[in-house]
Amino acid sequence: MTTSTTAGKLDYLVDQVQELKDQGLFTTIRTLDSAQGAWLEIEGRRVLNFCSNNYLGFANDPELVQAAKAAMDRYGVGPGAVRTIAGTVRIHTELERRLAEFKGVDDTIVLQSGFTANSGAIPALVGKGDAIISDALNHASIIDGVRLAGKADRYVYDHVDMASLEAQLEVASTKGYRAMLIITDGVFSMDGDIAPLDEIAALADRYGAITMVDDAHGEGVIGRGGRGAVDHFGLHGVFDIEVGTMSKAFGVMGGYVAAKQPIVDWLRQRARPFLFSSALTIPDTAACLQAVDILERSTERVDRLWDNARYFQGRMRELGFDLGVTMTPISPVILGDEKVAQAFSKRLFEEGVFGTAIAFPTVPLGKARIRVMISAAHAREDLDFGIERFERVGRELGVIG
Ligand SMILES: Cc1ncc(COP(=O)(O)O)c(C=O)c1O
């Protein structure tokens, strides 16, 4: 009886899941039985990994693993508390110092993830009497951060459209706000295009707005030695706030805000995930420190990532695949129809390539794709294998001629 009552209460969820399945929008989650790397073991198969964010191959790097082990021997595993009570360990402050040096900013604050960095920083920085002006395709964690800053007025500008941004700034500037905050992704994760931070900074300067960039996919990828989007445009000291994540190129987990001193000082007092959620774990923190070390030592991995990306994208375009407007190693193979994307991904998997289909709501309806994430961990033969399989499945499904 209890079961049937519960089932009745949850019928709407059962129906929603069925609807997703009918529309080809239900995501099948695959489970890995190996460490991250160019190749993965999944469901008893060895498959080429074309879809993780492990840009530089750090996720299973022996130096990072060793650093995590050594830190656990000294400090244990868990932080035991939030940062502001008893959870700040020496390696947290060391990581904040090293990241600030790496990014060329006054200071950084480290949080548990890129998601909490965005969703924590935005409502701490702006509220009632302020305005947020956000790119239409910004990441979900920015959108949630904007929602949490519920009392601030919101303006959305068309994706990377500077005329649209200026129009929004013009309207906002007549309202007498205390602060106006422009927020953009640095590299847009689904298309791989780069926001024109130089033009955004110029407009912000004209209208007196604060600038914030989420550099999740720029960190470790663009800029000198992977120093990110602000470095890529030479805007040190001009762009006010950089949000970073250490879950992608850094190969670990964790987020941070790199900014001018008053901003970081305030976030240490008021960013809710910093105050109300426990600190980044010991092994994560130590592994992130090691990643900074390696990035400061050499550009070799970043260079290899770009060589691989240029090779892969060049050959895929020659074959006739549509890779959209990417300017980075993110390589979206745009297929359009959601069901075609799912069928493509399934056939690739059977052929030994792991490339997840990405569909609505992550990308707009009718823009489904396999987003290939190129990594420095890929050898040339790995890329050749993947390209050959894409060609085979692409012809079979009539995507290319
Ligand atoms: C643009 C962007 N921002 C933030 C995040 C969140 O990062 P994290 O995985 O560290 O929470 C992601 C990850 O998907 C992202 O793509």
* Residue-level pLDDT at 23: 82
* Residue-level pLDDT at 1: 47
Percent of the chain with pLDDT over 90: 93
* Residue-level pLDDT at 99: 98
**What domains are defined for the chain?**
23-52+299-396 (3.90.1150.10), 76-297 (3.40.640.10)
pLDDT digits (tens, 9 = 90+) for 16-30: 999 998 887 788 788
Residues acting as catalytic residues = 189, 217, 248
- The pLDDT confidence band at residue 212, using thresholds 50, 70 and 90, is very high
- Residue 366's CB is within 10 A of a number of other CB atoms, namely 10
| Residue 246: partners with Cβ closer than 8 Å, 6 or more residues away | 114, 219, 252, 253, 254, 255, 256, 284, 288, 291
pLDDT digits (tens, 9 = 90+) for 340-393: 999 999 999 999 999 989 988 889 899 999 999 999 999 999 999 999 999 999
Least confident of 17-26, 216-225, 314-323: 17-26
Question: Roughly how many angstroms between the first and final C-alpha of the chain, as a whole number?
Answer: 58
Q: Which residue has the least CA distance to atom 10 on ligand 1?
A: 114
pLDDT digits (tens, 9 = 90+) for 77-122: 999 999 999 999 999 999 999 999 999 999 999 999 999 999 999 9
pLDDT digits (tens, 9 = 90+) for 276-310: 999 999 999 999 999 999 999 999 999 999 999 99
The continuous run of DSSP H or E covering 107 comes out as: strand 107-111
Q: Which residue has the least CA distance to atom 12 on ligand 1?
A: 216
Mean pLDDT within 331-335: 98
Q: How far is the CA of 161 from the centre of ligand 1 (A)?
A: 23
Enter the tokens of residue 133: 């002006």
Q: How far is the CA of 115 from the centre of ligand 1 (A)?
A: 6
Q: How far is the CA of 245 from the centre of ligand 1 (A)?
A: 6
* Residue-level pLDDT at 3: 53
| Residue 113: partners with Cβ closer than 8 Å, 6 or more residues away | 245, 247, 253, 254, 255
* Residue-level pLDDT at 179: 98
Complete DSSP assignment for 57-105: SGGG-HHHHHHHHHHHHHH-S---SBIIIII--HHHHHHHHHHHHHHTS
Task: Return the SS3 of 215.
Answer: coil
Pocket test for ligand 1, best of 122, 138, 141 (most atoms within 8 A of CB): 141
Pocket test for ligand 1, best of 245, 257, 356, 362 (most atoms within 8 A of CB): 245
pLDDT digits (tens, 9 = 90+) for 27-66: 878 899 999 999 999 999 999 999 999 999 999 999 999 9
- CA dist 248 and 189 (Å) reads 11
Q: How far is the CA of 140 from the centre of ligand 1 (A)?
A: 8
Pocket of ligand 1 (CB under 6 A): 113-115, 118, 139, 141, 185, 189, 214, 216-217, 245, 247, 255
Nearest atom within ligand 1 for CA of residue 185: 1
Q: CA dist 392 to 50, 283, 336, 387, Å?
A: 16, 42, 18, 9
Nearest atom within ligand 1 for CA of residue 116: 11
Enter the tokens of residue 320: 């006739």
Exposure string (b/e) for 46-78, b if CB count within 10 Å is 16 or more?
ebbbbbbbbbbbbbebeebbebbeebeeebeee
Would you say 141 and 119 are in contact if contact means Cβ atoms under 8 Å apart?
yes
Pocket test for ligand 1, best of 53, 111, 115, 138 (most atoms within 8 A of CB): 115
pLDDT digits (tens, 9 = 90+) for 251-285: 999 999 999 999 999 999 999 999 999 999 999 99
- The pLDDT confidence band at residue 4, using thresholds 50, 70 and 90, is low
Say if residue 169's pLDDT is above 70. Answer: yes
Would you say 154 and 132 are in contact if contact means Cβ atoms under 8 Å apart?
yes
Q: How far is the CA of 214 from the centre of ligand 1 (A)?
A: 8
